[in-house]
Chains A and B, each alone.
Chain A
């Protein structure tokens, strides 16, 4: 078996383990599914009249507008949950056993990220399904839905890299769990839940430069009006930026973990 095939097997096995782990622990799955679904329902029902405000982009319904925001929320929390589970593995000594095994170190991190990406994929399919069940239309049709799913999955992988880096650096589940409020801050300071032009200052200005806003718009556009190259490219660029940041932080943190044990 070639080195690459062996690494791919390790990544697949660790990825499948992290998915099983998430679905078995209510503390890990509920932030990804339960809370974003609850917030989607509440915000759609509570702030749905907002589409009547002058300046609100033309949408079929507020639910259609909100789907991308919920997918982003779920994706961000999947990254955070993945980081928590990785830190628990470090605390329990499971990662040390993996480090001692004859497998490439990057495959250990990539396995965790594959699991996080799979959860991102699950979240995007979940929210698109909810949207369709409750009457939202996907303006971009099947290609639009596939693009939204692909961008959310890639974003989950990117955000998961940062979660994994923090887990490797700190080796503490409570430190990674402590980032949960930060996830909420990043979400609220983006255009995930409302059009950036209608937000109030200083959230409006911060949202304009928040990389998450670019990803949200890239996911939202195929849902509310159809595939748009400019929005898609901006989203891809933002995701690549986060991927690079995650890679740099993860490789540094991995070196640190191997040094301190």
Chain B
């Protein structure tokens, strides 16, 4: 009786329902935060992988700045936003893997019989990923500053972190969609490879005009190119609105496509 009343309250667009929904989202975000605090080791791979990629790529491909057409003299500044976005991609994919684990262990079943609407459950997972992405991004950025990356300015930093958080949300939608579709942690490589491809099939290693023709064409139509260029602008030059809005639009578009798909999978789960 009480559960039914809460369900009705959650469905109705009343302030009370919104408060309930927000409280549920906050609880799901807190659960993800608790996991981070109580099992810090679980976050290490997500932090280590982009850091190793950052240091490795910088050491290996750092000489590329001597090519004519490279618009910066600091490869670490050029590559650090890539690693931050890569960390966001890994974090979002990990949200999908954790959801698959929760499904395998029966936790998702318990959430689904709760009166919380499906979109609230998805939002909690996605928002948590967006916030968790700050951990690898900050770690990679600190390492980058230590080895001489350029300070992007406060505006550049804010834009970069905004792109990172939203990219993690996109990756979490992608990961959640696959997790709920396959209902198995075995889908983890697909979640990670999808995001890795999306982030790296951009002007990640070199400016657009220095890419091989096939990658240049792919990067031109890849929406994450705009996200990367928005995140990178402060590190290689100055922040402008004309470099920022395409990134925001691309992320909004990706979320508009992937969030409904993830929600569709969640609505289909255990029906």
A interface residues (Cβ-Cβ under 8 A, vs B)? 25-27, 30-31, 34-35, 38-39, 41-50, 52-53, 62, 178, 180-181, 184-185, 187-189, 193-194, 198-200, 202-204
From known contacts A181-B45, A184-B53, A188-B56, infer whether A46 and B206 are also in contact, taking CB-CB under 8 Å.
yes
Q: Check A49–B60 contact: CB distance below 8 A.
A: no
**Chain A residues within an 8 Å CB radius of B57:** 188
Given contacts A26-B189, A30-B190, A62-B212, 8 further A-B contacts (CB under 8 A): A35-B193, A42-B197, A46-B212, A49-B67, A49-B211, A52-B67, A184-B52, A200-B59
**Chain A residues within an 8 Å CB radius of B205:** 42-43, 46-47
**Chain B residues within an 8 Å CB radius of A31:** 189
**Chain A residues within an 8 Å CB radius of B67:** 49-50, 52-53
Looking at chain B's contact residues, the main secondary structure is helix
Q: How far is the CA of A185 from the CA of B55 in the complex (A)?
A: 9
Closest to B56 in A: A188
Q: How far is the CA of A45 from the CA of B45 in the complex (A)?
A: 27
| Residues of B176-228 whose CB lies within 8 A of A | 185-190, 193, 196-197, 200-201, 203-206, 210-212, 214-215, 218
Q: How far is the CA of A62 from the CA of B213 in the complex (A)?
A: 13
Q: Check B49–A26 contact: CB distance below 8 A.
A: no
Number of residues in B with C-beta < 8 Å to the partner? 39
Q: How far is the CB of A21 from chain B (nearest CB, A)?
A: 13
Q: How far is the CA of A194 from the CA of B67 in the complex (A)?
A: 15
Is B37 an interface residue, CB under 8 A from the partner?
no
**Chain A residues within an 8 Å CB radius of B45:** 178, 180-181
Q: Check A30–B189 contact: CB distance below 8 A.
A: yes
Closest to B209 in A: A49
**Chain B residues within an 8 Å CB radius of A184:** 49, 52-53, 56
B interface residues (Cβ-Cβ under 8 A, vs A)? 45, 48-49, 52-53, 55-64, 66-67, 75, 185-190, 193, 196-197, 200-201, 203-206, 210-212, 214-215, 218
Between A and B, 12 residue pairs with Cβ closer than 8 Å are: A26-B189, A34-B193, A38-B200, A42-B200, A45-B201, A45-B211, A45-B212, A49-B64, A50-B64, A184-B52, A193-B61, A194-B61
Q: Check B52–A53 contact: CB distance below 8 A.
A: no
Closest to A34 in B: B193
**Chain B residues within an 8 Å CB radius of A194:** 60-61, 63
Q: How far is the CA of A33 from the CA of B233 in the complex (A)?
A: 34
Q: Check B196–A200 contact: CB distance below 8 A.
A: no
Residue among A27, A189, A199, A200 making CB contact with B189, cutoff 8 Å = A27
Q: Check A26–B215 contact: CB distance below 8 A.
A: no
Q: How far is the CA of A194 from the CA of B205 in the complex (A)?
A: 13
Q: How far is the CA of A233 from the CA of B123 in the complex (A)?
A: 58
Q: Check A25–B211 contact: CB distance below 8 A.
A: no
Q: How far is the CB of B55 from chain A (nearest CB, A)?
A: 7
